[in-house]
Amino acid sequence: MLDVGKWPVFALLPPEELRLIRQACVFGSAANEALYVTVNDEVFALGTNCSGCLGLGDLQSTIEPRRIDVLCGKKIVSLSYGTGPHVVIATADGEVFAWGHNGYSQLGNGTTNHGLTPALVSTNLLSKRVTEVACGSHHTIALTTDGEVYAWGYNNSGQVGSGSTANQPTPRRVSSCLQNKVVVNIACGQLCSMAVLDNGEIYGWGYNCNGQLGLGNNGNQQTPCRIAALQGVNIVQVRVACGYAHTLALTDEGFVYAWGANSYGQLGTGNKSNQALPTLINTDKERMVEVAACHTSHTSAAKTQSGQVLMWGQCRGQAVASPHLTHFSSTDDVFACFATPAVTWHLLTVDGDDYLTVAQSLKREFDSPEISDLKFLVDGKCIHVHKALLKIRCEHFRALLNETDEESIEIHQFSYLVYRAFLEYLYTDTINLPPEDAIGLLDLATYYRETRLKRLCQETIKRGISEENAITLLSAAVKYEARDLEEFCFKFCVNHLTAVTQTQAFADMDHDLLKNFINKASRYGAFKN
């Protein structure tokens, strides 16, 4: 399962849909557009659909996912987007599809008409297999299996690498200094392009007024120029990343170099001065294994060999001038939580080996008889668990299981639904019950003195309160001495007094509870005209 929960655009997708996502990309000027691919290789889009960038054949926004039929089954291996936005993908077959904004021919189809559906980019690429694509604001570059680079679109600063500043309506091979050389990695800033060769050399071309080409000057370049200052420094393949107007490079020894614009501290040098030459970043001697940047923002991130994630640059409006250690486990989280806009810096993809975290592994093994060593019998049904985990997670079970070697335990005090939810909570740290059933779990949590579970039950009940069940939930809160929940339910009842007093639950209300409710509501002013 791909965790896309930090991106608000996915917030309305039901859990069963989220579990199917294997690739995802969030883009757009406000991070309001998204594409995702499911385990069945179906492609869906949702969001505001600016310039038809969702590829759905129209300009209608959609809050619910809609399928992009032409891309289903294509197996996307690379995806990038511009600020128009336009979207470009490469498939496992080496084909390139593009759609969205096309005011500068960035779709490579020879026109300036926006593309409402994904269309094959064919000119000069039909006999080529493309492995990677990268987009600037309004231009596109593509890398082939032969190590060749093709470019098209907006070219006001030479970012297409054609030797002129005329826009390029169809894919054209970037030759010049790259002729007879093998490129292994490409990246784009807003108005510039970068390429890494198989020998570790880096070439840049396009806009350079902030020094983002790393050439030691601020002149634009209409053809690729080698960054001489990195001579002798081996840049790791697929380890160069471009921000809006700055560039990061990762060496094979785990060092990070940065250059270009620095008004937000995005170079990580400790100041806000632009750098026209590559500058080594101080990362406290930690070996880096990943650098991350996105042409839509001034944010930078890196990941250490030990799994720590650093961020710097523009972070939610603040200028962080030196690498800052975070609690994140992925550079993706930096862009979801701190970049402006909060887009994805690359195509999010589940590891090819379907690696499971510890939490995911435990969740999968809950109630699985294959390797369990204990089962509970509740209402005639079995629930399979593991003694070691129960001892670790719950004081009640630690005491109980230290006193018995039984492989089967019968439970009579609680229902199957409630007890299964309790055991599942011990595996997942979450509960998934309707509010009425959460009352029974609240009873169990009180009995077993599980404070956190008690709090989760109360939160679940609060979210599910209604005029029909408010009195029932209030009664439960009083019974189990859940003071915060009791106060919440009471205030809800008072605020919806007319409707609540007309329910059957109110008519069946315990006499003492009814008396206390009326007294308290009176003090609250509920019966004033």
**Could you read off the pLDDT of 355-393 as tens digits, one per residue?**
567 887 888 899 999 899 999 999 999 999 999 999 999
Rounded to the nearest 10 degrees, the angle between the axes of helix 358-365 and helix 416-428 is: 160
**Could you read off the pLDDT of 233-276 as tens digits, one per residue?**
866 644 899 999 999 999 888 899 999 999 999 999 999 999 99
Q: Distance between CA 519 and CA 490 in Å, rounded?
A: 12
Q: What is the pLDDT of residue 65?
A: 97
Q: Domain 358-524 class?
A: alpha beta
With contact defined as beta carbons under 8 Å apart, do 245 and 220 qualify? no
**Could you read off the pLDDT of 386-426 as tens digits, one per residue?**
999 999 999 999 999 998 888 999 999 999 999 999 999 99
Q: What is the mean pLDDT of the chain?
A: 92
Q: What is the pLDDT of residue 356?
A: 65
In this predicted structure, the answer to whether residue 446 has a pLDDT above a threshold of 80 is yes
How would you classify the pairing of strands 408-411 and 374-378?
parallel
In this predicted structure, the answer to whether residue 290 has a pLDDT above a threshold of 70 is yes
Per the listing, tokens 């039929």 go with: 69
In this predicted structure, the answer to whether residue 352 has a pLDDT above a threshold of 50 is no
Residue 87's nearest CA partner among 75, 76, 99 is 99
Is the model's pTM score more than 0.85?
no
With contact defined as beta carbons under 8 Å apart, do 64 and 57 qualify? no
Mean pLDDT for 284-312 is 93
What value, to the nearest 5°, has the Cα angle with vertex 107 and ends 143 and 297? 75
**Could you read off the pLDDT of 90-126 as tens digits, one per residue?**
999 999 999 999 999 999 999 999 999 999 999 999 9
With contact defined as beta carbons under 8 Å apart, do 247 and 241 qualify? yes
Residue 170's nearest CA partner among 114, 112, 224 is 112
Which ranges of 372-510 would DSSP assign to H, the alpha helix? 387-393, 395-402, 416-428, 435-448, 451-463, 470-479, 483-495, 497-500, 504-507
**Where do the structural domains in the chain lie, given as residue ranges?**
358-524
Mean pLDDT for 122-149 is 97
Q: What is the pLDDT of residue 238?
A: 45
Sheet of strand 221-226: strand arrangement: 183-188, 192-197, 202-206, 221-226
Phi and psi (nearest 5°) for 130?
-90, 135
Q: What is the pLDDT of residue 355?
A: 55
Mean pLDDT for 25-29 is 96
Q: What is the pLDDT of residue 461?
A: 83
Q: Distance between CA 300 and CA 287 in Å, rounded?
A: 16
Residue 477 binned pLDDT confidence (cut-offs 50, 70, 90): confident
**Could you read off the pLDDT of 175-186 as tens digits, one per residue?**
989 999 999 999
Q: What is the pLDDT of residue 170?
A: 98
